[in-house]
A and B are shown apart, each in its own frame.
Chain A
């Protein structure tokens, strides 16, 4: 993975600042991800596929789909964001990069925050951009789309943070897929509740500020504490 490191002058007298390191890590992760674009598209395709199942399984009538649209969108988003989690730290753990991060003398919490941010940019944000489109397909009126965009954007931040904890905990487990879901989904329930409710209010044309604020609160809470737990779990698994 050496070749993937951005060509920034390192080790010339002054070490890069914490923000500089975070920016480098973001660049590196994004660059690596775009080299394997098919992996990027998979969660989105999965999200679209799950959304398609519901009209086929329940009813093609948009007037009825509208009522369940918030639940469909959020359940699909939750599952799609789980899909990419297993690979969050996997490659870096296998080739020893993660070990180098832990030994670098930098705060591991900061490094993992940067990795989580990259993961959100690669899965959470595309999902958030795609959710309004899926919403239209489910008969959601146009005025609800900003609310859907905002709630999925905020909600996926927390999902990425929780996912980072889950991925760090199961780093040493061989086939972690099902276990990872079992660990992460119960913790994600508040996001699902507030997110789906904000979406539902938006679809009905009612003010959805309150659940959106709660989603933001969860995201901020997660940003402060989740990297600590993830860093602790990574250190244990690297020992």
Chain B
């Protein structure tokens, strides 16, 4: 059946094993690409004629910003799949992804304000992108707060999935309203990403960093997903087997007894 792979995704032990097998395929390329991108971006790329060396923070900032949005979307999609097909692993994936996405959002805010100090002369400017990134950070905090507020894991999963779907519909509305708000108050700030004339020596390391960060996210997500699945299935027999416990371990024994 063509759908076998999809159904197998519903099986926690299968997901646990597959995620473990896939992790190095993400982690090693991520490490190589990030090192290459950093060398390319921090040493090989020429300084910018206007911003000098300050622009180099974009090699961390821009990929973080991309992931902050991508992870939220992924969370909403996973939540939607979990709601529609009642797939527990999808909820586990969303739960595993949320803190990573929040961290990338935080990294975007920090690097953005560090970049702002030499560029704007101040650590914080109510720039539309930084402001909507800040609001995205609050959305992440709300999501994680809602998840943590429930004792019952299944309810936490499904309620927070509804919130993620509502949030993802609102993210573009929030973003464009903030852009619109900003255009009323000040001229467009320096377009440091949409620069059409970025030479290849600057652009190539940036693209490498995008790919490297995304793979890094994939590796961390898979690791967190395994931990999440283990924690959720801690009462199951395959967990004690997978963790190398004796076959007559506590949980396994309980199951035989029952």
Contacts and interface: CB of A to CB of B under 8 A. Distances in A.
Interface of A: 165, 169-170, 172-173, 176, 179, 182-183, 185-187, 189-190, 193-194, 197, 214, 218, 225, 229, 232-233, 236-237, 239
B149 A173 contact: yes
Given A182-B145, A225-B169, A232-B162, A237 B181 contact: no
Contacts of B203: none
B120 interface: no
B167 A187 contact: yes
Contacts of A179: 142, 145-146, 149
Contacts of A182: 138, 141-142, 145
Contact of B162 (A176, A197, A236): A236
A236 B159 contact: yes
Contacts of B150: 172-173
A13 B55 CA distance: 75
Contact of B180 (A170, A176, A186, A193): A193
B74 interface: no
B141 to A, nearest CB: 6
A229 B159 contact: no
A31 B200 CA distance: 69
Interface in B146-174: 146, 149-150, 152, 155, 158-159, 162-163, 165-167, 169-170, 173-174
9 contacts: A179-B149, A186-B170, A189-B135, A190-B177, A197-B181, A225-B169, A229-B165, A233-B159, A237-B155
Contact of A189 (B162, B166, B178): B178
A187 B165 CA distance: 12
A187 B181 CA distance: 15
A6 B188 CA distance: 57
B184 interface: yes
A194 B177 CA distance: 8
B139 interface: yes
Nearest to B148: A179
Contacts of A233: 159, 162
Classify the interface of chain A: helix, strand, loop or mixed: helix
Interface residues of B, number: 28
Contacts of B173: 190, 218
Contacts of B177: 189-190, 193-194, 214
Contacts of A176: 149
A163 B64 CA distance: 31
B155 A236 contact: yes
Contacts of B145: 179, 182-183
A75 to B, nearest CB: 14
Given A172-B150, A236-B155, A237-B155, A183 B142 contact: yes
B167 A169 contact: no
A229 B149 contact: no
A194 B145 CA distance: 28
A53 B218 CA distance: 49
B147 to A, nearest CB: 11
B84 to A, nearest CB: 11
Nearest to A232: B162
Given A187-B167, A197-B184, A225-B169, A169 B174 contact: no
Contacts of B139: 186
A186 B139 CA distance: 7
Nearest to A201: B184
A186 B135 contact: yes
Given A189-B135, A233-B159, 11 more contacts: A169-B162, A179-B145, A183-B142, A183-B145, A186-B174, A189-B177, A190-B170, A193-B178, A232-B162, A233-B162, A236-B158
Nearest to A196: B181
In the A-B complex, the 8 residue pairs with the smallest Cβ-Cβ separation, listed nearest first, are A190-B177, A183-B142, A173-B149, A193-B181, A186-B138, A236-B158, A182-B142, A193-B177
A169 B146 contact: yes
B121 to A, nearest CB: 25
Nearest to B180: A193
A170 B156 CA distance: 10
A228 B232 CA distance: 29
A189 B165 contact: no
Interface in B66-116: 83
Interface in B231-253: none
